[in-house]
C-alpha cells in the first residue's frame, strides 16, 4: 500500500512526538510505501530544531519514509492563543498542500491534536481517499482539562465546536483505532459505533528501548547512589508530579533514597522550587535529555516512576512511558488510575498507587525498596516479557496495517 500519514509531530522532535516516526518506520518495514505530511519540528520547546527554518515546503527522506513539511506557528507554551495558532496553522497548511499526497491509497491520522483530522477529511472529500484515525488523546477533553485554557463562555463555545468537529471526523473515518480500552468505551458512548472502534496499543522503538546494563561511571558522575527512584519524561501539568516530591515526606526512614527527574516541561521550574523547599538534598534534576541518553539513565535507577493526575479522561489514556519502561525491563511504581494502572498491574512489573496520593505512593516505593535488588530485577523481566507478547512492534504494526488495508478494501469512492 501507499500510505499517507498526517501528524503535527515528527522526527527529530522528542518525547511523545517520537511515536509517529516509530509507526512510520514499522509500516515501511512491513513493505509499505509511507509518506508523512507534518510540520517543522519545534516540540517540546516551541523553538525550531537546529537546521530548520520555516519555509513554504521542505522534503526529506528519513529512514525510508518520505517526509513532507509544511509551515506552522511554532509554540508549546501556556498561551492559549499561541497554542491555538500552532494547531490551526498546521491544519490549514496541511489542508492546502494535499496535492502532494493525492495518490496515496489511504490516510492514517495521528490524532493529537484533533485538528490534524481536517486535511484527511478534505482529502476524502476532494480525492476520495479513505482515512483511519489513530487516537492518542481524547479531544476535546484534553483541551478542556489543560492548564492554558480558562473556563468561561468563550471556552464553552470552543469546546462545543470541537465536539462537533470530532463527531464529524469520527463519522467520516473508515475506522478509529484507540490506544486504550477506556477510550473506546467513551467514544462508543458518544455515538461512534462499536464495530468502528478497536484498540491498538502504542509500541516503542525497540532498537532504543531495550534492557541495558547500568554504567557505574555515569552514575558516579551524576552523584546517583543509594536507592534511586527516577521519573524520565515530560514534566507537564497532566503528569501530576507533585505527588512524588510530596511522597518524600513519608520516606524519611529511607535516608539514602534519591528522587531523580530526567526531562523537562512547563512544570519543571515549579517542581524545582517545591523540591528545594520541601525536600532539600533529596531530589536531582537532570534536565532535558535526548532519547539515547534517557535510556542509558534508566538502568541507573532502582525503580521507574510513572505518574498522571487523577482526571476522568486520563483514566482512559495510555501514557507512552508505560510501554517504554516495560520494554526496557525496569521495575515500576506508578501513580495511575484506569487503563494504565490495570496494564501495569497485569504486567507484573511493579506496584500501583492511586494518583495524587503521596502516602500511597510512598508505601509503594517502600515496598519496592524492601524487595531487594534481585526481586526488583525479576519484576522488570516480567514486564519485558509482557511487552514482547502483548505490546510489541510485531503485534501493533500488523494490527494497524490490517486496519489500513480494510479501509482501502471497503472504501466506496465518491462521485467527485
Q: Are residues 339 and 379 in the same domain?
A: yes
Q: Are residues 131 and 241 in the same domain?
A: no
Q: Are residues 179 and 45 in the same domain?
A: yes
Q: What is the three-class DSSP state of 177?
A: strand
Residue 412: which of 172, 100, 226 has the closest Cα? 172
Q: Can you give the pLDDT at residue 80?
A: 74
Q: Are residues 18 and 155 in the same domain?
A: yes
Pull the grid cell for residue 361: 505512593
SS3 of 159-174: the string is: HHHHHHHHHHHHHHCC
pLDDT tens-digit map of 34-71: 999 999 999 878 899 999 999 999 999 999 999 999 99
Asked whether residue 7 is assigned to any structural domain, the reply reads yes
- Residue found by looking up cell 524487595 in the block: 371
**Residue 113, preceding peptide bond in cis (omega within 30° of 0):** yes
Asked whether residue 378 is assigned to any structural domain, the reply reads yes
Asked whether residue 208 is assigned to any structural domain, the reply reads no
Asked whether residue 314 is assigned to any structural domain, the reply reads yes
pLDDT tens-digit map of 62-73: 999 999 999 999
Pull the grid cell for residue 322: 508505560
Residue spans of beta strands (DSSP E) within 236-291: 257-262, 283-287
Q: Are residues 350 and 255 in the same domain?
A: yes
Residue 391 to residue 84: CA distance in whole angstroms: 33
pTM metric for this prediction: 0.86
313: confidence class by pLDDT, cuts 50, 70, 90: confident
Asked whether residue 416 is assigned to any structural domain, the reply reads no
Q: Are residues 187 and 239 in the same domain?
A: no
Pull the grid cell for residue 151: 473556563
Q: List, as own/partner pairs, every contact residues 400-403 make where C-beta atoms lie below 8 angstroms and the sequence separation is at least 24, other chains included.
A: 400/23, 400/26, 400/27, 400/108, 400/134, 400/177, 400/200, 401/1, 401/27, 401/30, 401/32, 403/132, 403/174, 403/175, 403/177, 403/198, 403/200
**77: number of CA atoms within 13 Å, CB side?**
8
pLDDT tens-digit map of 165-203: 999 999 999 999 999 999 999 999 999 999 999 999 999
Q: How many domains does the chain have?
A: 2
Q: What is the domain range of residue 103?
A: 2-203+392-410
Q: Are residues 198 and 272 in the same domain?
A: no
Q: Are residues 402 and 385 in the same domain?
A: no
Q: Is the pLDDT of residue 94 over 90?
A: yes
- Residue found by looking up cell 512491513 in the block: 30
Report the CATH number that the domain containing residue 250 is assigned in CATH: 3.40.50.2000
Amino acid at each position: 500500500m501507499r500510505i499517507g500519514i498526517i501528524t503535527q509531530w515528527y522526527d527529530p522532535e522528542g518525547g511523545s512526538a517520537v511515536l509517529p516516526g516509530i509507526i512510520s518506520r514499522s509500516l515501511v518495514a512491513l513493505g509499505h510505501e509511507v509518506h508523512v505530511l507534518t510540520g517543522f519540528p519545534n516540540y517540546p520547546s516551541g523553538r525550531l530544531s537546529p537546521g530548520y527554518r520555516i519555509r513554504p515546503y521542505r522534503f526529506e527522506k528519513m529512514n525510508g519514509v518520505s517526509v513532507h513539511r509544511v509551515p506552522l506557528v511554532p509554540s508549546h507554551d501556556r498561551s492559549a492563543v499561541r497554542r491555538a495558532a500552532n494547531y490551526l496553522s498546521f491544519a490549514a497548511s496541511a489542508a492546502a498542500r494535499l496535492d502532494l499526497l493525492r495518490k496515496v491509497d489511504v490516510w492514517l491520522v495521528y490524532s493529537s491534536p484533533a485538528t490534524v483530522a481536517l486535511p484527511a477529511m478534505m482529502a476524502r472529500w476532494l480525492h476520495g481517499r479513505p482515512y483511519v484515525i489513530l487516537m492518542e488523546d481524547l479531544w476535546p477533553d484534553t483541551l478542556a482539562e489543560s492548564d492554558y485554557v480558562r473556563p468561561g463562555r468563550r471556552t464553552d463555545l470552543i469546546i462545543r465546536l470541537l465536539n462537533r468537529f470530532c463527531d464529524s471526523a469520527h463519522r467520516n473515518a473508515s475506522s478509529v483505532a484507540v490506544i486504550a480500552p477506556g477510550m473506546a468505551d467513551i467514544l462508543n458512548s458518544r455515538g461512534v459505533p462499536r464495530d468502528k472502534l478497536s484498540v491498538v496499543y502504542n509500541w516503542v522503538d525497540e532498537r532504543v528501548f531495550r534492557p541495558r546494563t547500568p554504567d557505574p561511571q555515569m552514575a558516579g558522575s551524576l552523584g546517583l547512589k543509594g536507592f534511586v527512584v527516577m521519573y524520565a519524561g515530560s514534566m507537564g501539568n497532566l503528569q501530576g508530579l507533585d505527588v512524588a516530591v510530596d511522597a518524600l515526606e513519608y520516606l524519611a526512614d529511607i535516608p539514602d533514597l534519591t528522587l531523580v527527574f530526567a526531562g523537562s516541561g512547563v512544570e519543571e521550574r515549579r517542581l524545582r522550587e517545591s523540591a528545594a523547599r520541601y525536600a532539600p538534598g533529596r531530589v536531582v534534576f537532570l534536565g532535558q535529555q535526548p532519547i539515547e541518553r534517557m535510556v542509558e539513565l534508566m538502568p541507573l535507577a532502582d525503580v521507574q516512576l510513572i505518574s498522571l493526575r487523577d482526571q476522568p479522561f486520563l483514566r482512559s489514556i495510555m501514557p507512552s512511558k508505560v510501554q517504554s519502561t516495560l520494554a526496557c525491563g525496569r521495575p515500576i511504581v506508578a501513580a495511575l488510575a484506569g487503563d494504565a494502572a490495570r496494564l501495569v498491574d497485569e504486567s507484573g512489573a511493579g506496584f500501583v498507587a492511586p494518583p495524587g496520593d503521596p502516602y500511597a505512593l510512598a508505601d509503594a516505593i517502600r515496598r519496592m525498596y524492601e524487595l531487594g535488588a534481585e526481586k526488583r530485577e525479576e519484576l522488570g523481566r516480567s514486564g519485558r516479557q509482557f511487552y514482547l507478547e502483548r505490546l510489541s512492534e510485531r503485534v501493533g504494526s500488523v494490527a494497524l496495517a490490517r486496519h489500513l488495508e480494510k479501509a482501502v478494501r471497503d472504501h466506496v469512492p465518491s462521485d467527485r
